[in-house]
Structure 1
Amino acid sequence: ANGRTILSAGFTLGLLILPLIIINAQEAIRAVPTSLRQASLALGATQWQTTWHHVLPAALPGILTGAILAVSRALGETAPLVIIGASTFIVVDPSGPFSKFTTLPIQIYQWTARPQAEFRNIAAAAIIVLLVMLLALNATAVYLRNKYSTKM
C-alpha cells in the first residue's frame, strides 16, 4: 500500500501534535510556583519525590488541557494526510490499521461535489459529527482544567 495506511496516518498526526504537547507540558510545569518546590524540598523530600508528588499533580490540568487541544487540532488536519496519500474517496470500510483511509474533511468535500441530494445530506451529517467531536474535546479540556486546577 506504499505507506498509505491508517497506521502511517496515525504516526503522521502524532508527530504533528507532539511539539504542541511538549511545549504545553513544559509551560504547565514552569507555571508551578517555585515555593511549592522549595517547601517540599525543605521538608526533606528528594528532587524526584518533589517532582512526582507535587509538581506533576499541580501541572496536570495544564498538561491535560494542552494534550486534548492538540488532539482536537489533529482532528481537523487534512494537509499532512493528503501528502502521505490519503485516498480522496473510498467505498469500503477500513478493515485494519494497514487499510487505505481518507479524512472526514476530504470525504465531506467529495460528498458535497456529488450531484445527488443524498450526498449533501450525508455531508451535512458528517459536518455535525465533526463539530460535535471538536466541541466535546474542547469542553472536556475546559472541564478537566477547571476540575483539577487548585488555587496556589
Structure 2
Amino acid sequence: VMPIIIVASRESIRAVPLSLRQASYALGATRWQTVWNVVLPQSIGGILTGSILAVSRAIGETAPLITIGALTFVPFLPRNLLDIFTVLPIQIFNWTSRPQDDFRSLAAAGILVLLTILLTINALAIYLRNRYQKRY
C-alpha cells in the first residue's frame, strides 16, 4: 500500500503549477511557507484520493491474503476487540469450501459486506476528490 500512496502523493504534488510556487516566492514567502500554504492545499485532494484508493485496493486484494494468511484461520468467534481474529476474505474462502448450504449463505453475506465496504471507501475517495477540486 505504501508505494501506491507515495506515488500518488508525488504526482499530486508535482501537479501543482510552478506559477503558484513562484507567485508565493514573489510575495516573500519562504520555501516552507510555500509548501505549507500553497503546495499542500493544492495537492491534498490527490493525496487523500490516492491514500483511500490504496486502502480500498488492499482490502480488495484477497489472493495474497488467502495464499499467505490462510494459516491464520481462527475457528471461533472473538469475544471482544482484543481477541485474535481472521480477515474477512479468508473467512469467506473457508465458508465457500464447506459443503453445507448454510455456509454458502454466510459466504454470500460476507461478500456483500466486503463489497459494501469497498464501495463506501471508493465513494469517500470520489467525494473528497470532488470537494477539494471545487475548493481550489
Q: In structure 2, the residue corresponding to 1:131 is in which secondary structure?
A: helix
Q: Which has the higher contact order (CA 8 A, sep 6+)?
A: 1
Deviating beyond 4 angstroms after TM superposition, the runs of 4 or more aligned structure 1 residues are 94-97
Could you tell me which amino acid in structure 1 is paired with residue 68 of structure 2?
I
Aligned to 2:2: 18
User: Structure 1 residues 77 and 90 mapped into 2: Cα distance closer, same or farther (>3 Å)?
Assistant: farther
1:76 aligned to 2:60?
Answer: yes
Q: CA deviation at 1:67?
A: 0.1
Distance 2:35 2:71 in 1: 42
2:10 is aligned with what amino acid? Q
Structure 2: where are the runs of 5+ without partners?
none
Aligned match of 1:59 in 23, 43, 49? 43
Structure 1 gaps of 5+ residues are 1-16
Identity of aligned residues (%): 55
Q: Is 1:111–1:120's contact at 8 Å kept on the other side of the alignment?
A: yes
**TM-score normalised by structure 1 residue count:** 0.79
Q: Which amino acid aligns with 1:91?
A: F
Structure 2 length normalisation: TM-score? 0.88
Structure 1 residue 102: deviation in Å? 2.2
Match of 2:18 in 1: 34
Q: Give the match for residue 6 of structure 1.
A: none
The aligned runs of 1:105-144 (5 Å cut-off) are: 105-144=89-128
- Tell me how large the CA RMSD over aligned residues is: 2.1
Equivalents in 1 of 2:88, 2:66: separation in Å?
Answer: 11
Aligned equivalents of 2:46, 2:103: Cα separation in 1: 41
Q: Which protein has the bigger helix share?
A: 2
Q: CA deviation at 1:151?
A: 8.0
Partner of 1:10: none
- Give the one of 23, 31, 43 matched to 1:47: 31
